[in-house]
Amino acid sequence: MTGSVGDALKLIKDSNAVAVDFKFVDLPGLWHHFSIPAERLSEDEFDNGLGFDGSSIRGFQRIEESDMLLIPDPSTAVIDPIPEAPTVSFICNVADPITQAPYSRDPRYVAQKAEAYLQSSGMGQTSYFGPEAECFIFDSVRFDYGPNFGFHEIDSEEGIWNSGQEGPNLGYRPRFKGGYFPVPPMDRLQDLRTEIMRKMIATGIDVELQHHEAGTAGQAEFDLRFDSLTTIADKVLWYKYIAKNVAVAHGKTVTFMPKPVFGDNGSGMHTHVSIWEGDRNLFYDPSGAYAGLSQQALWFIGGILKHAAAVLAFAAPTTNSYKRLVPGYEAPNRIAYSQRNRSACIRIPLYSSSERAKRIEFRSPDPSANPYLAFSAILMAGLDGIQTRTDPGEPVDKDIYDLPPEEEAKVPFLPGSLEEVLMALEEDHDFLLRGDVFTPDLIDMWIRWKRANECDAIHIRPHPYEFYLYFDI
């Protein structure tokens, strides 16, 4: 990635690019783009932007006020590893065409405001996020819905359900919950994941590792090395884009749906967080009362636990998210924190005692989230905890899934549905409004859009399993 406009234009020239691509994110979190001939790009586009129809983008403008601008961020210029034609891509911010002011519903702008708020608050200089974004790599997917039918079908050469198929069958398939770190030939996707990893590195993403995850049917994990909030959110979208396109090039398909396979682990996006002041980790205190954490870090945890339900409206933002957050599949569904313990929704990793490694891990988010909004909400909840000195309570250093009833009753559940977290967001969002990071308009649009297009849409349709339960009632 480059820095100035001059650097970006030089990259286009030196790479012999024939096209320049402009990417931006909608409110739910999907990239959109368009391209222009490389010779048409000048410094003017960085100052005055490029026009597009905001009414055609989810969560943006109404048709009577649809004209919007994209302002390319020159620091994001990178050679796009996917198109055959040499292409340089930019990530863009969204702006109003009349005032050229940043657009309040632009998720990337929210992330930038969250970073600015941290700096102005006196609570730190830089927030670092390190996501572990899981996915499934399938060989095929079929789904459709109509007034008189509804179905989905997925398949994978790795799926344990193919162990009994007739014809040539070599076995070597991960069992349910049995796919963590197997070597080939059990792991059939090593080369594909490596290709994804190499293309990620080519775009400037520092990949810590990739591996097969616990699920059968091609579950994978890519861990992105920590970076500042907006930058790491940019990298998450690059990762999704690259993974999907590399898979398709090999006749496969990638989904970041949290729970596509019944009876097996879902895909999470465990999110590691720390706050720094220059080269000093403010979460680190080797003499701290718990797990080498500073008091500031404990208050930060308290804020996330206090606002967990509202935060999940952005960090676990689909109806499918709550099919993952159930007992039995290594997905935390209780509001608690602990060192080392993966059954708590916040874990303090203890792989290293060094200052650089000290952080917290919020385990409830999943990769269906818009990373700009999810990471911003996590940061704002944690900062509220610091400001109000929120006590996180006692840690739970036991397996929460196996507590005796009297102890289990003391550990509250996370909400169990998208509707519940949207209701929580309605009631608890003042912490998000500080510094104008989130706006009432964005929160209102998010709630209305999610209810109308996801919650209500699911509620009013018969589910295929309801026929199994009720057809002969």
**250-281 confidence digits (pLDDT tens):** 999 999 999 999 999 999 999 999 999 999 99
Q: What whole-number distance in Å separates Cα of residue 339 and Cα of residue 398?
A: 10
**Contacts of residue 358, Cβ cutoff 8 Å, sequence gap at least 6:** 274, 281, 283, 284, 292, 293, 297
Mode of pairing for the β-strands spanning 227-228 and 126-138: antiparallel
| Number of DSSP helices (H) and strands (E) in the chain, helices first | 15, 18
pTM of the shown model: 0.95
- Which letter does DSSP use for residue 42 in this model? -
Q: Are residues 44 and 174 in the same domain?
A: no
Q: Are residues 319 and 358 in the same domain?
A: yes
CA-to-CA dists, residue 196 to 58, 160, 234, 322, angstroms? 28, 24, 16, 28
Give 66's pLDDT tier (boundaries 50, 70, 90): confident
Where does a domain end: 70, 101, 132? 101
Structural domain contains residue 115: no
**Which of residues 73, 101, 129 is at a domain's end?**
101
Please check the confidence at residue 64 and state whether its pLDDT lies above 70: no
Residues 170 and 40 placed together within one structural domain of the fold: no
Q: Are residues 68 and 209 in the same domain?
A: no
| 100 — pLDDT class (breaks 50, 70, 90) | confident
Residue 173 structure tokens: 């398939």
Residue 112 lies in a domain: no
Domain identity same for 78 and 177? no
Q: Do the Cβ atoms of 301 and 391 come closer than 8 Å?
A: no
Contacts of 53 (CB under 8 A, 6+ apart): 66, 67, 68
* Number of domains the chain is built from: 2
Write out pLDDT tens, residues 430-440: 999 999 999 99
> In this structure, are 340 and 411 located in the same domain?
yes
Asked if 91 and 160 sit in the same domain, the reply is no
Catalytic residue set: 53, 132, 134, 213, 221, 270, 342, 361, 363
Please indicate, yes or no, whether residues 281 and 326 belong to a single structural domain of this protein.
yes
**pLDDT tier, 63 (very low <50, low <70, confident <90, very high otherwise):** low
Give me the domain span that covers residue 453.
120-470
